[in-house]
Structures are given as C-alpha cells and as structure tokens.
Amino acid sequence: MKAMILSAGRGERMRPLTDHTPKPLLEAGGKPLIVWHLEKLAAAGCREVVINHAHLGEKIEAALGDGSTWGLSIAYSPEPPGALETAGGIARALPRLGDAPFLVVNGDVYCDVDFPAFTARGCPPGGARLLLVDNPAHHGGGDFSLSGERIIPANGEQTLTYAGIGVFSPAMFDHVPADQPMKLRPLLDAAIAAGTLTGERHAGRWVDVGTPQRLAELDTELRAAQAE
C-alpha cells in the first residue's frame, strides 16, 4: 500500500521553531519527526511514499531526497503558498497515489501503531478507516464515537480523537475541487452519513506534536527510552 505523509502545514503553534525549519523536520529523540514515520513505513514493507509540502518545502526535499536512505521511493507534491488543507492536498496528490486505497499519516504526530495490521483491514469502498485514540488533554471533547467498527458522530459519552492516521479510498476525493483548499472533516462527515467510515481505537503511544512543549516532552521520553 502506498502512503502519504501530510507535511504542508505552516506550524503556527510551533513558532518560532518553524520560522526556519518545516515542522516535519523538527527533531525528537535525535531524529526528525518525519523520519520516525519513514522508518516505520519501510519496516512495514511500504515502498512508495508521497509527501506534500508548502512552507519551506525545499528543505524537506533536500533533507529526505528520493527516499533511498530508507529503502523507499519518495515523490513530492508541492502546494502553493498557504497550502491546500488536508482534503485539498490529498486530492492534488492523487495522481501519485494511484487507484487503490492508500495510507495517510499526519507528519506532526508520533505513534507506535502497527502499520501492517492496520492497513491489512483496508477501508470501505469509497470511504475510509481511521485510527482513533483516547482524547488528549488539549482535545477533551474528541471527534467521533465508535459503534463496533463504524464511526458515528460524537455522542457526548464515549468519544475518541482522530489520530491523523487512516486508510482512504481515492474515490472519497472525487468531488474535491482541483487545487482549492478544502478541509477533511466535511468528507468524513459525508462518509459517516453514507455508512462508509470505519475505525478502531489505538491503545498505544500517540502524541500530537503541536506545541514546543509537547515536542520537548516527546524528545525527553524518546531519549530516555533509547538510554534504557
């Protein structure tokens, strides 16, 4: 399965760190955040990765090259200044992703998910399968609820947060306007209504590395684990 790593965000909450370094290249545990993903994808047997970028995108390409360092083939999907949001960015990259379902990973999360087990479950035709996690302190209301494997609107009782990792059908993006910014949430809500959005709860480690403090905490944690 091909994979796409979302790397086009400006990283406003991470400033001033992101003024001169794109967020995916910020380091935790001695290596850039995006390299943790590349290593896990390569270990999972993935061979083709698409990376979108906008802010300081040339630095991402210079740092990662063609992906051969990790046994991968990396293709890039540049976006205009300001980027295209998640759905717009994925739609722009579709020609590089092919006709089969593909894995999408947010470039600014850290997660110990088992990629082969997760991707093996695929996704509903025309829909998606999302990885969900317990709500972090900074997002206590969550995003969705689960009924079995079916994702339903958040019901106020048992809610979970979208981890920024999912398997998507290309058909889900058929009606996204070309090269226009569009968020992912409207497509997810439409898939809920159509019954084509499924998911599973991940009980392992997950961090939304959205602030300098959370980046520093993850760095400390990873370095401590490496020292054991």
**pLDDT tens digits for 145-162?**
999 999 999 987 799 999
For residue 11, pLDDT beyond 80: no
| pLDDT per residue as tens digits for the range 101-113 | 999 999 999 999 9
Q: For residue 200, what pLDDT band results from cuts at 50, 70 and 90?
A: very high
Residue spans of alpha helices (H) in the chain: 33-43, 57-64, 85-97, 115-120, 185-194, 212-227
In sequence order, the 6+-apart residues with CB closer than 8 A to the CB of 86 are 6, 182, 183, 184
CA distance 216 to 33: 12
Backbone torsions φ then ψ of 51, nearest 5 degrees: -125, 120
What is this structure's pTM?
A: 0.95
How far is Cα 115 from Cα 39, in angstroms, rounded to an integer? 11
pLDDT band at 227 (very low <50, low <70, confident <90, very high): confident
Q: Residue 41: its pLDDT value, please?
A: 97
- Please report which confidence band the pLDDT of residue 62 belongs to, taking 50, 70 and 90 as the band edges: very high
